[in-house]
Amino acid sequence: MQPAAEAKLPAVPEPGIDLELQAHLELKSRLHAELLDRLNLSMIDKVEASELKRQISALVTSILETEGVQMRAAAFTSLVEELIFEVMGLGPLEPLLEDPTINDILVNSHDQVYVERFGMLEKSTVRFRDERHLLRIIDKIVSKVGRRIDESQPWVDARLEDGSRVNAIIRPCTVDGPALSIRKFSRSPLTLDRLIEQGALDHRAADILTAMVEARLNVLISGGTGSGKTTMLNAMSSFIDARQRIVTIEDAAELQLQQDHVVRLETRPANSEGQGAILQRDLVRNALRMRPDRIIVGEVRGAECFDMLQAMNTGHDGSMTTIHANSARDAVGRVEQMVTMVGADLPIKTIRSQIAAAIHIVIQLSRLSDGHRRVISISEITGMEDETITMQDIFVFKRQGISTSGQVLGKFVATGIRPKCYDLMRSAGIKLDPQMFQREEVLS
């Protein structure tokens, strides 16, 4: 992609677009092309931001004087900042990335950008000049992590420097031009205490989740897209003993573990010849040779689930992973389906007994209609009855209705069942008040 080529094409006003905005975008595009010609791009990373801003301001002033363009001071300052974003950062996306209230940035096309703020979607005023502008930003993102996107590979998973998750997809797989999705992560990782403050769970649930991690129980975190699975995994992992060796395996490295003794592994897509792909299953098998105390897989999607179960069943207690599913029972069913992807002709009873022996706890998360993310249930896998995996809920979120402002009303309650793993936690020296499991009734 050649960024400077944008300015050589004739400007054609787009229907339905504010002419003043269109003129501003055209001006910024011309100035950007001029800056790319005049600046020493190899030295940009070595120049302090204040000096770079001074140089860009001087160049922009010179160019505007040559073109006879007059501009108010505030508009000029804003234009210089936008150009710095274009040269050093990700252009129009930079203000959205800097906004701490935004969780997701969703670019449907070059002129339609949405953001998720406090769990609710809203349309942003940000837009790109055209498809090539958006493609240039996408290319800048994926090339930094050694990945590519083109007609032969029209979609890609990547990450930003801060760990934010990125997915991009372009023509011919998209009808209306390139689409980009960015899942931002808090620069200060969310803790269980902060999740309690946000209403995702209560103190009792946090206490038992902490105890489960410290007692080295194997945990499966389940939920839909955007329900907070990775956030919960990060929060729970903070209670892993710092003396233990942790190996993380992800498609795009985004976990924010706080311990020092962590080895982070990441998959790799195939090259342009279709060779060299490294799958999660390859990394899980390799991790078994790295003397890990715990293995954390960002998300299981396929045959690597079988190797994950083997790790959990062969001395790597306290391992954790996430999965897409609508309920705890569905999560177990999905694990079963993934194991069958291995291709081995295993009896269904054997597969289910492996699951029942490997996974102790399933945590179900959901993003509710009011945008809040909550723990819906904490369930324990108790074993097998004939060919059926048996489970029991320990805590559940009971909905009680919706307020006049649209907020989902409900309460996190104990089911009255004391988990079988309670004895395991006690034997690990963890003290929990058995009264926390006392059954609660919730009036509808």
Residue from 186, 182, 147 nearest 166 by CA: 182
Whole-angstrom distance, CA of residue 1 vs CA of residue 132: 8
Residue from 225, 230, 235 nearest 190 by CA: 235
Specify the amino acid at residue 123: K
Q: Is the pLDDT of residue 54 over 50?
A: yes
Which stretches of 244-347 are DSSP H helices?
A: 280-287, 304-312, 328-340
At residue 39 the predicted structure's pLDDT band, cuts being 50, 70 and 90, is low
Most confident segment among 30-39, 209-218, 274-283, 303-312? 209-218
Question: What CATH architecture is 90-184?
Answer: 2-Layer Sandwich (3.30)
Q: What is the pLDDT of residues 240-253, one digit of tens each?
A: 999 999 999 998 77
Q: Which whole-number Å values give the CA distances from 18 to 111, 115, 131, in the listed order?
A: 12, 21, 18
Q: Which whole-number Å values give the CA distances from 263 to 147, 172, 227, 311, 440, in the listed order?
A: 21, 37, 26, 16, 43
At residue 152 the predicted structure's pLDDT band, cuts being 50, 70 and 90, is confident
Structure tokens at 247: 């190996």
CA angle, 131 then 136 then 139, to 5°: 120
Ranges of CATH 3.30.450.370 domains, the chain: 90-184
Neighbour-count burial for 97-126, b at 16+ CB within 10 Å, e otherwise? beeeebbbbbbbbbbbbbbbeebeeeebeb
Whole-angstrom distance, CA of residue 59 vs CA of residue 65: 10
Residues 6+ apart with CB under 8 A from 263: 245, 246, 247, 248, 290, 292
| pLDDT, average across residues 315-343 | 92
Specify the amino acid at residue 196: I
Q: Is there a contact between 371 and 118 (Cβ–Cβ < 8 Å)?
A: yes
Q: How far is CA 344 from the centre of its chain?
A: 32
Q: Is the pLDDT of residue 10 over 70?
A: no
Length of the chain: 444
Whole-angstrom distance, CA of residue 216 vs CA of residue 433: 19
Percent of the chain whose predicted confidence (pLDDT) is above 70? 92
Residue 380: CB atoms within 10 A of its CB come to 23
Q: Is there a contact between 318 and 293 (Cβ–Cβ < 8 Å)?
A: yes
| pLDDT, average across residues 89-101 | 88
Q: What is the pLDDT of residues 98-129, one digit of tens each?
A: 898 999 999 999 999 999 998 889 999 888 88
With tokens 């980009």, the residue in question is: 180
Whole-angstrom distance, CA of residue 141 vs CA of residue 377: 37
Which sign, positive or negative, has the C-alpha torsion 190, 141, 320, 374?
positive
pLDDT of residue 46: 64
Collapsed DSSP state (helix, strand, coil) of residue 66: helix
Q: Which whole-number Å values give the CA distances from 382 to 294, 297, 360, in the listed order?
A: 22, 23, 8
pLDDT of residue 73: 81
Asked if omega into 172 is within 30° of 0 (cis), the reply is: yes
The CATH number of 192-437 is 3.40.50.300
Specify the amino acid at residue 175: V
At residue 82 the predicted structure's pLDDT band, cuts being 50, 70 and 90, is confident
Q: Is pLDDT larger for residue 157 or for residue 364?
A: 364
Ranges of CATH 3.40.50.300 domains, the chain: 192-437
- Which residues face 249 on adjacent strands? 265, 297
Whole-angstrom distance, CA of residue 144 vs CA of residue 137: 11
Structure tokens at 335: 């694990």
Q: Is there a contact between 378 and 361 (Cβ–Cβ < 8 Å)?
A: yes
pLDDT of residue 40: 61
Q: Is pLDDT larger for residue 143 or for residue 444?
A: 143
Q: Which whole-number Å values give the CA distances from 261 to 152, 206, 234, 239, 256, in the listed order?
A: 39, 24, 15, 13, 13
DSSP 250: E
